Structure 1
Amino acid sequence: MGFRDPGSSYGKPPPTMINMSRMGGRTAMANNNEPARPMTAVRGAGYTSFANKVQAAERTISTENLGESEEEKCKQMENKVMDMLRESMIASEKKKYKEALDKAKEAGRRERAVVKHREQSGLVESMNLDLTFTVLFNLAQQYEANDMTNEALNTYEIIVRNKMFPNSGRLRVNIGNIHYKRREFTKALKYYRMALDQVPSIQKDTRIKILNNIGVTFVRMGSYDDAVNTFEHVVEEQPNFASALNLILTSFCIQDAEKMRESFLKLIDIPGFPDDEFMKEKEDDDVLLNQTLNSDALRHWEKQQKNEAEKAIITAVKIISPLIAPDYAIGYEWCLESLKQSTHAVLAIDLEMTKAGEMMKNGDIESAVEVLKIFNAQDSKTAAAAANNLCMLRFLQGGRRLVDAQQYADQALSIDRFSAHALVNQGNIHYMNGDLDKAMAHYREALTNDASCVQALFNIGLAAKAQGNLELALEYFFKLHGILVNNVQVLVQLASIYESLEDSAQAIELYSQANSMVPNDPAILSKLADLYDQEGDKSQAFQCHYDSYRYFPSNLDTVEWLASYYLETQFSEKSISYFEKAALMQPNVSKWQMLIATCLRRTGNYQRAFDLYRQIHRKFPHDLECLKFLVRIAGDLGMTEYKEYKDKLEKAEKINQLRLQRESDSSQGKRHSANSTHSLPPSGLTGLGSGSGGSSGGPRQYSAHIPLLDNSAAFSVSQRDMRENDFSYDDPIGMSNRPKTGSRKTVTELGPDDFGEFDESLLPD
């Protein structure tokens, strides 16, 4: 009972129980095939094969779970990059280039974060290169849209030099386009050729577009022969209207008539879009179907392509017609005949109209009229257009041609009663004839038939303005302003109406808007200056007048205003230059020379002013103001010419007084003679040549028609000695009922040389 085992302690369980308690349920859960563990170990050392398998399996499971979570996280980050790319592209499509660039940069930052995260997670093998390429390409495009060409070039170079991006070499076309915009044509040509080498021959469309860029670059460089060869290759490989027109233009540059003919034939041989017979058949059957097909996007694209083809052909005809034949008309006729034999024969009628317009531009009006008269035998639509053109042509000729214009307008209306253009022409004719009410009626009818006829709306506003109905004119022009936003003519008309209504603030606002669109129009600037001057804003008025003078220095009113402004502001030196320009424009007007002399006097340069007054006196010897200033300055300076100019001034003043008196007497005599009857003179008054033995009852013989008697003094206009009594004659009968004789003409305008030179003492007091 008292024996104790020295290897054990009191109260402790045996070793077997301790191990079992520490192992817990591990031993119970162990497989029966597992070898026994040493009892001295607290935990497994892992040296058995079974333990290695268990740990490897656990490690594999944890690694797979971690890899799946990291890959999912990377995909989520890439989705965010794609969302940012979409936002950037949408902003660019809406012309919000700054916002698009910011979003493109943000997409680039997020994409780099995805790449870094993949590198840290060991997922480089699943790198999304397409996303990287898209982000860089979008960033380069946004740089280019914001005119940041250097940044765009650097981004494109990063893409091109990366060998991991397939087919990135064709982006050298974009690099060439940037150099082309920067007018670096040699570099642009180099990159275009490099891009052409990168594009395989199977991608024919891309190669043709690059070749077209190369041809345009040759044109910019002046290498027209190389450009012709390039465009010829393009037209042969894949003919299109733009390249064919470029070929014609380059042939025009080298003045090769034969090449122009060949190029034109290649142009009209390009097939166009055939007429849609289905639409013609269904036009009257199903209106809803017709409207649906006409509003289709593909239909709009087809119409756009047709318009571009027609524009290319008509432009080519206008360019080559004067050069492919000795005469413009012959060349035009050759183009028309060639066109009639092609698939674009329907354009021949439009070209005939264009031919008439070109003849009018060249001044051959009658030939243009003859060409337009041919269209009377055409279909109704063409005949109506020709009649409208003839009406407008005769209307512009004016005068007696308005009758012909009226006939052509009636003819156009008889063909198409609802033609808005014919009604506008009819209203214009009535407007020129002064019948504003009928003109207004025709303009209203034109607007009823075609609410978008801006010509009718503009003309009806003018007619209402001419009638004095400014409120109605204002209403019409505001309607037109809503259709033609920021149209200069409409803004000027509105401003003019407000100016007539004495609303200067509104008129200034509208004239300022018009001036912002055409800042080099001197008339608008003059209007603004006048309004500012009326408002008392001299500084703004001066600025507008000065700008108007810069664009139109020959406006005499502007020159005079500027000179007067400097004169009022005590800058006489500056006003001299403007008065000198006015004197150059009107050299026979003494006013400008006198103003120059006035400015010289104000500056204190009396000697120069005196010399100028002497020059003015030599050129205009009867100018009293000049003589007065000469007398004043000569007296102030104590010159010897003082007495001479004073005598001339006194003579000139007396002569001027006599002239004014004679004019007044002459005007009174004309009034009395108009009221009096052609009766015989009173018996007490005899004519100069009647004599003493004349019969009192016979007809009077005027002295201008009979020789003078010996006892009468000979009358002559030549110079003679005059006595003082000759200037103080008192008529005993009076001036009221004195008859006018036919001996001489009544002097209505007496020149200073009519009296000749005589002594001052002979002049009356």
Structure 2
Amino acid sequence: MPQSRANGFGRNTETARPMTSNRAAGYTAAGKAGGGKVFDPLNQGDKGAAKPLEKKTELSPEEKLREMEKEIHRLVEESAITRERGNLREALEKGKEAGKKERQLCRLREQQNLLDQLNVDLTYAVCLNLAIQHQANDNDNEALTIYTQIVKNKQYPFSGRFRVNMGNIYFKQEKWTAAIKMYRMALDQIPNNVQAIRFKIMRNIGHAFFKMHQFPDAIDSYENLLMHGAQHLDFMTGFNLILCYYALGDKDKMKSGFLKLLNIEQVGLEDFDEEEEIELGQTEQQKQESATRNLTEGDDALREDIKRRQREAARFIVNAANLIAPVIEKTEVAGFDWVIDSLNHHGFPRIGSELEIAKSCFFLRRKEFDQAIQVLKKFERKEPSLMACAATNLSFLYFLEAEHTQAEKYADIAVKADRYNARALVNKGNCMFMNDEFERAKEVYLEAIGVSADCLEAIYNLGLVNMHIGKYQEALLAFDKLHSITHVNCEVMWQLGDIHEKLGNHAKAHEWFSLLVTSPKGRPTDPGVLARLANLFNKAGDETQAFHYHLESYRYWPVDMNVITWLGIYYVKQEMYEAAIPFFSRASQIEPNEVKWRLMVASCYRRMGAYPAALKLYEDIHRSHPNDIECVRYLITICKEMKQKYDHYAAHLRKLERLQAANEQPGRNMGTVSAIGQGGREASDDTM
């Protein structure tokens, strides 16, 4: 029995059977004793040596060509996939390589007389892919050349529709006429049963006419889309149609176009407001949990696309509503009311509420604050996000009207509804600033910046509050940051110049004020900036430049008393009394109750030697101000110089001096007048 089992497995019958199960199969004592046995349980050694490998037969020419076709097809697919991944340059290189190999394949077929096996479809695919890759890389001329070859080749099926691609290139190049021509030629190639593509081409034709400002032709193209129930109308097309009606001033068509825009059916739009309500109804904890879940799991691609469509639709609807509301009715308010009713009726209450806020902003622009407040107060009973927006605007309105208590109240409401509302925090900080709570205001501004790092109002106000409490270096940091964001904002450059001047950095202050005057978007005619530059030059001892900028400032704002005084004193210093007279005369017109300006004019006449004019002016001053001691003294002096009687003036002077001594009232400081009478140098010293 043991032998029969061994033979059944092809074992050698002379080999002893193992006596125990601990010895491995195939390893026996007999084998060990012989020393020449090889472990071969399947007796494969009896078959002899292995046969040599067969040589691979050489590929035939047809097989080589088929392998090349596979390689070309692989390159085309890789090129398309690479383009979808965003690597446009590599995709173009693969497309070029595919084109090169395809031309090599055609030459080989021609050399081997296999022209009947030319793969037209492969050539078509290679050329089309290469054109698409050139178009994606903005190589418009190369793409147009290949597209032209494709559409002219009658062997390529449906090649005429690629005139749409050519039209798109011309559209991008703003060659509207050529684009329209290509679109129309492509439209002739599209069969009538392919309605979706035909309507998209018609939409593109309308866009081209719109760009050319040929609004009637654009309307014709757009309205063709409405003939089939508007199922092919998208929000951009509907918005452009409203713009065309607006350009032509057709109010009825604007209304109908807006209603058509609201009736557009789009996947995902039907639950737009429901999603908003769900989000608004969540507590803060639920919102945080939802945000955490979205961060960890993320929305799928379909959900992201639906959200993008919803945002885009809302943007077009809001823009269209804001555009037509002020013009579709006899009054702007009636227009807003019609738009809001239409939005609520068609299932867009959220956007309707936004239009309510836009309506309040319209009142605000017209400075009709009471109506704006009335509209915004309606939001106190609405959802939190809208209430926060309305409360922010209400706070701003009350702040403008200097009702700081009410402004702070609504700022607190807005912050409570949305702690991350940067504008509400700015309003709250402004109220604290007006209540002299500067440190608290600074903290709130910093919190607003933490919420929104690019909140310009918060950064600007932070700089102001730091200046107010004397922390100029911190204010400088805030305005420097603001300047890095805005670049050429005039208010920011003014504050930077002002801070540097306060810090004693006159060179930097001069640099900022000069930039404010010379910048293309600056203020070269701002009299305040010119006066500041003049003062900086004056401090630096450059009177020539100081005079130039003071004169420029006076030219644009001839009522600045500081500038007028400086110019008048400058001419007195130069002993150009005749030139100084117009400035002192202007000062007397601005401050008619101030006697010193008319006395300065009279002193200039006296220094010029025009004694009759000086005497006449002194007498006029004495009649209007009979108790002015300085004027009486000048009258006595000039009468002596002109050898006229002055006894009555002398008597009046003694009387005034006795009254002054009796009342123990010191005389009015007439240092400026006396100095002008004595000489130009003393006048400048006392006045300045």
If the TM-score is normalised by the length of the shorter chain, which range does it land in? 0.5 to 0.7
Task: Give the AA of the match of 2:305.
Answer: W
Q: 1:274 aligns with which of 253, 260, 270?
A: 270
Tell me, in whole angstroms, the C-alpha distance in 2 between the residues paired with 1:465 and 1:750: 35
Q: Structure 1 residues 337, 439: closer, same or farther in 2, change over 3 A? A: same
Deviation for aligned residue 1:245: 1.8
Give yes or no for the alignment of 1:328 onto 2:332. yes
Tell me, in whole angstroms, the C-alpha distance in 2 between the residues paired with 1:490 and 1:585: 21
Q: Structure 1 residues 125, 427: closer, same or farther in 2, change over 3 A? A: farther
Preserved CA contact (<8 Å) 2:72 2:101: yes
Deviation for aligned residue 1:132: 3.7
Q: Which residue of 2 aligns with 1:554?
A: 525
Q: Which residue of 1 aligns with 2:511?
A: 531
SS in 2 for 1:372: helix
Q: Structure 1 residues 547, 457: closer, same or farther in 2, change over 3 A? A: closer
Preserved CA contact (<8 Å) 2:76 2:129: no
Q: Which residue of 1 aligns with 2:591?
A: none
Deviation for aligned residue 1:374: 1.4
Q: Structure 1 residues 470, 110: closer, same or farther in 2, change over 3 A? A: farther
Q: Structure 1 residues 592, 156: closer, same or farther in 2, change over 3 A? A: farther
Tell me, in whole angstroms, the C-alpha distance in 2 between the residues paired with 1:468 and 1:646: 47
Preserved CA contact (<8 Å) 2:488 2:521: no
Count residues in correspondence.
556
Tell me, in whole angstroms, the C-alpha distance in 1 between the residues paired with 2:484 and 2:579: 54
Give yes or no for the alignment of 1:230 onto 2:221. yes
Deviation for aligned residue 1:370: 0.7
Tell me, in whole angstroms, the C-alpha distance in 1 between the residues paired with 2:114 and 2:568: 93
Deviation for aligned residue 1:740: 5.0
Q: Which residue of 2 aligns with 1:739?
A: 661
Q: Structure 1 residues 109, 148: closer, same or farther in 2, change over 3 A? A: same
Task: Give the AA of the match of 2:394.
Answer: L
SS in 2 for 1:274: helix
Deviation for aligned residue 1:329: 0.8
Q: Structure 1 residues 177, 648: closer, same or farther in 2, change over 3 A? A: same
Preserved CA contact (<8 Å) 1:461 1:477: yes
Tell me, in whole angstroms, the C-alpha distance in 2 between the residues paired with 1:336 and 1:129: 59
Give yes or no for the alignment of 1:71 onto 2:66. yes
Q: Structure 1 residues 80, 261: closer, same or farther in 2, change over 3 A? A: closer
Tell me, in whole angstroms, the C-alpha distance in 2 between the residues paired with 1:471 and 1:592: 34
Deviation for aligned residue 1:149: 3.9
- The 5 Å alignment of 1:129-140 reads 129-140=120-131
Preserved CA contact (<8 Å) 2:388 2:414: yes
SS in 2 for 1:325: coil
Q: Deviations over 1:480-502 (max 9, x none)?
A: 88xx9955489996997799689
Tell me, in whole angstroms, the C-alpha distance in 1 between the residues paired with 2:222 and 2:442: 54
Preserved CA contact (<8 Å) 2:161 2:186: yes
Task: Give the AA of the match of 1:348.
Answer: G
Tell me, in whole angstroms, the C-alpha distance in 2 between the residues paired with 1:591 and 1:498: 22
Q: Which residue of 1 aligns with 2:50?
A: none
Deviation for aligned residue 1:317: 1.7
- Structure with higher helix content: 2
Q: Structure 1 residues 299, 545: closer, same or farther in 2, change over 3 A? A: closer
Q: Which residue of 1 aligns with 2:188?
A: 197
Q: 1:264 aligns with which of 252, 258, 264?
A: 258
Q: Which residue of 1 aligns with 2:682?
A: none
Q: Deviations over 1:729-757 (max 9, x none)?
A: 9x99xx999715699996959989x99xx
- The 5 Å alignment of 1:409-558 reads 409-413=411-415, 421-443=423-445, 450=451, 454=455, 458=459, 459-460=461-462, 463-464=465-466, 466-469=468-471, 486-488=485-487, 530-531=510-511, 547-548=518-519, 552-556=523-527
Tell me, in whole angstroms, the C-alpha distance in 1 between the residues paired with 2:346 and 2:69: 62
Task: Give the AA of the match of 1:649.
Answer: M
Task: Give the AA of the match of 2:608.
Answer: L
Tell me, in whole angstroms, the C-alpha distance in 2 between the residues paired with 1:476 and 1:128: 69
Deviation for aligned residue 1:215: 1.3
Tell me, in whole angstroms, the C-alpha distance in 1 between the residues paired with 2:565 and 2:437: 45
Q: Which residue of 1 aligns with 2:104?
A: 113
SS in 2 for 1:258: helix
- The 5 Å alignment of 1:678-697 reads none
Tell me, in whole angstroms, the C-alpha distance in 2 between the residues paired with 1:443 and 1:560: 29
Q: Deviations over 1:442-474 (max 9, x none)?
A: 3455577x4768468635565446544466667
Q: Structure 1 residues 210, 351: closer, same or farther in 2, change over 3 A? A: same
Q: Structure 1 residues 477, 165: closer, same or farther in 2, change over 3 A? A: farther
TM-score, normalising length: structure 2: 0.63
Tell me, in whole angstroms, the C-alpha distance in 2 between the residues paired with 1:342 and 1:75: 56
Preserved CA contact (<8 Å) 1:529 1:545: no
Preserved CA contact (<8 Å) 1:235 1:243: no
Tell me, in whole angstroms, the C-alpha distance in 1 between the residues paired with 2:361 and 2:413: 20
Tell me, in whole angstroms, the C-alpha distance in 2 between the residues paired with 1:85 and 1:256: 47
- The 5 Å alignment of 1:180-195 reads 180-195=171-186
Deviation for aligned residue 1:581: 6.4
Q: Which residue of 2 aligns with 1:386?
A: 390
Q: Which residue of 2 aligns with 1:158?
A: 149
Deviation for aligned residue 1:327: 0.6
Q: 1:649 aligns with which of 608, 613, 636?
A: 608
Tell me, in whole angstroms, the C-alpha distance in 2 between the residues paired with 1:418 and 1:263: 37
TM-score, normalising length: structure 1: 0.58
SS in 2 for 1:275: helix
Q: Deviations over 1:140-177 (max 9, x none)?
A: 44554565544433232112112222222122122223
Deviation for aligned residue 1:306: 1.2
Tell me, in whole angstroms, the C-alpha distance in 1 between the residues paired with 2:92 and 2:669: 87
Preserved CA contact (<8 Å) 1:137 1:159: yes
Q: Which residue of 1 aligns with 2:47?
A: none
- The 5 Å alignment of 1:291-306 reads 295-306=299-310
Structure 2 gap segments, 5+ residues each: 1-55, 587-603, 619-627, 630-638, 678-688
Preserved CA contact (<8 Å) 1:294 1:300: no
Q: Which residue of 1 aligns with 2:239?
A: 245
SS in 2 for 1:295: coil
Q: 1:312 aligns with which of 305, 313, 316?
A: 316
Tell me, in whole angstroms, the C-alpha distance in 2 between the residues paired with 1:615 and 1:495: 36
Tell me, in whole angstroms, the C-alpha distance in 2 between the residues paired with 1:744 and 1:378: 69
Q: Deviations over 1:547-582 (max 9, x none)?
A: 4379644245569979x99xx9xxx9x999999966
Q: Which deviates the most, 369-378 or 284-293?
A: 284-293
Q: Which residue of 1 aligns with 2:358?
A: 354
Tell me, in whole angstroms, the C-alpha distance in 2 between the residues paired with 1:491 and 1:127: 70
Q: Deviations over 1:3-24 (max 9, x none)?
A: xxxxxxxxxxxxxxxxxxxxxx
SS in 2 for 1:247: helix
SS in 1 for 2:349: coil
- Percent of aligned pairs sharing the same letter: 28
CA RMSD of aligned residues (A): 5.8
Structure 1 gap segments, 5+ residues each: 1-60, 508-525, 534-540, 602-612, 624-644, 660-668, 671-716, 756-765
Task: Give the AA of the match of 2:376.
Answer: L
Tell me, in whole angstroms, the C-alpha distance in 2 between the residues paired with 1:206 and 1:445: 53
Tell me, in whole angstroms, the C-alpha distance in 1 between the residues paired with 2:427 and 2:584: 57
Q: Structure 1 residues 84, 114: closer, same or farther in 2, change over 3 A? A: farther
Q: Deviations over 1:107-135 (max 9, x none)?
A: 54444334333433445455454554454
Q: Structure 1 residues 239, 163: closer, same or farther in 2, change over 3 A? A: same
Preserved CA contact (<8 Å) 1:420 1:447: yes
Q: Deviations over 1:664-689 (max 9, x none)?
A: xxxxx99xxxxxxxxxxxxxxxxxxx
Preserved CA contact (<8 Å) 2:526 2:556: no
Tell me, in whole angstroms, the C-alpha distance in 1 between the residues paired with 2:567 and 2:120: 81
Deviation for aligned residue 1:417: 6.6
Q: Structure 1 residues 439, 415: closer, same or farther in 2, change over 3 A? A: same
Give yes or no for the alignment of 1:167 onto 2:154. no
